[in-house]
Amino acid sequence: MFSKACEYGIRATIYIAMQSLQGNRVNLKEISKEIDSPVAFTAKILQQLAKNDIINSVKGPTGGFEINKKDIDSIKLIHIVSAIDSDKIFNGCGLGLKECNEDFPCPVHFQFKEIRDNLKKMSSETSIYELATGLEVGLTFLKR
Amino acid sequence: MFSKACEYGIRATIYIAMQSLQGNRVNLKEISKEIDSPVAFTAKILQQLAKNDIINSVKGPTGGFEINKKDIDSIKLIHIVSAIDSDKIFNGCGLGLKECNEDFPCPVHFQFKEIRDNLKKMSSETSIYELATGLEVGLTFLKR
DNA sequence: GTTTATTAGGATAAATTTGTCTTATTTAAA
DNA sequence: TTTAAATAAGACAAATTTATCCTAATAAAC
Ligand code: SF4
Ligand code: SF4
């Protein structure tokens, strides 16, 4: 469904958010250990997330990544997916047709539109806050 | 959502089905022209579909691809997707965790499960027959 | 039987995604 | 002010996906 980069990006953001809720800034090494992802590749993804103002990066000793507590609830899944994978999955065609036009629909249009719209709705409504708190209370997990 | 190979595979199968409903066997060149796909790559995908008994291939002059009329309604979208992309999208994790266990869910589990199950249900219920007839009556299109 | 039109299969190539490595930059701490 | 710990950036490498090309196999038509 999502690219590897996007999966790592979502997992990383959730972990950073959970730590930020507890007042902790976390560094690359810790993040990739906790989300079980390749270190250097994760660095690239975190850079992308920082450029898209989804997370903050701080250089130097004691540096790392964090999210302002007040922003955590306004970051939605769709922001991360759009930043890393583009919004193709939310707006593109199920059969990959280039020019998408509902007046000249592809054969799967009527079936796919519903799935795609639900995915978009879910991604727009699901906040990193709710995903991070599930992790914080031990209801959900980022590894295995 | 699906790989390019899978998109071409679905489009090709729908086209072959539509022609088969009209009693026509179609060859590679015509298929890739009508679904606007790379010829040689499409050949590989058709091979895969034939091996998975989704379409029939016939060699030699007047050869080509076809589907038995009586089978067209029993071929569902999920058969094509599973044959080409595997069933990962229907059963795998939204965050790419390897060992999937609902008792130790990933943070997006509760949100994703619904989307994923709907996609699976839709793909299991949507037959190539219904997609092919939409194309046949000019309601839907395979190019653009 | 020969030719010709078709699919099958294998080798190769190009493009993209995934991942690594090295160096530069920043900045807190010593 | 120097050192050390962290991210940023760019070059590179590996793996996968997408795509092409060439030859073999098949079988209808001549
Ligand atoms: S017809 Fe529907 S599924 Fe196809 S391209 Fe347009 S919006 Fe997308
Ligand atoms: S927890 Fe849910 S979404 Fe995550 S791997 Fe298991 S089934 Fe998939």
Closest-approaching ligand to the CA atom of B95:
2
**Cα–Cα dist A55/A32, whole Å:** 15
The token pair that represents B76 in the structure block: 């569902």
Chain A positions in Cβ-Cβ contact with residue B107 (cut-off 8 Å): 14, 131-132, 134-135, 140-142
CATH code for position B20: 1.10.10.10
The angle formed by the CA atoms of residues B36, B71 and B62, to the nearest 5 degrees, is 55
Note the pLDDT of residue B55.
Answer: 98
| Helix and strand counts by DSSP (H, E) for chain A | 7, 2
Of the listed ranges A89-103, A118-132, B80-94, the least confidently predicted one is: A89-103
The answer to whether the CB of A16 falls within 8 A of the CB of A68 is no
Q: Could you read off the pLDDT of A41-75 as tens digits, one per residue?
A: 999 999 999 999 999 999 999 999 999 999 999 99
Which of A90, A108, A112 to mutate to test binding with chain B, by most B CBs within 10 Å of its CB?
A: A108
Is pLDDT of A104 > 90? no
A2 pLDDT band, cuts 50/70/90, is very high
3-class DSSP state of B65: strand
Residue B74, in any domain of the structure: yes
Query: Is B141 contained in some domain?
Result: no
Between helices B109-125 and A109-125, what is the axis angle to 10°? Answer: 180
Q: What is the pLDDT along chain B (144 residues), one digit of tens a residue?
A: 999 999 999 999 999 999 999 999 999 999 999 999 999 999 999 999 999 999 999 999 999 999 999 999 999 999 999 999 999 999 999 998 887 788 889 999 999 999 999 999 999 999 999 999 999 999 999 987
Neighbouring C-alpha atoms within 13 Å toward the C-beta of A136? 16
CB count, 10 Å around CB of A27? 13
Residues of chain A contacting residue B134, judged by C-beta atoms under 8 Å apart: 107
Provide the domain limits for residue B47.
4-136
Q: Which nucleotides of C are covered by protein (CB under 7 A)?
A: 4-10, 17-22, 25-29
Q: Which atom of ligand 2 is nearest to the CA of B110?
A: 2
Q: Is residue B125 part of a domain?
A: yes
In a domain, A144, yes or no: no
What total number of domains does chain B contain?
1
Domain annotation covers residue B67: yes
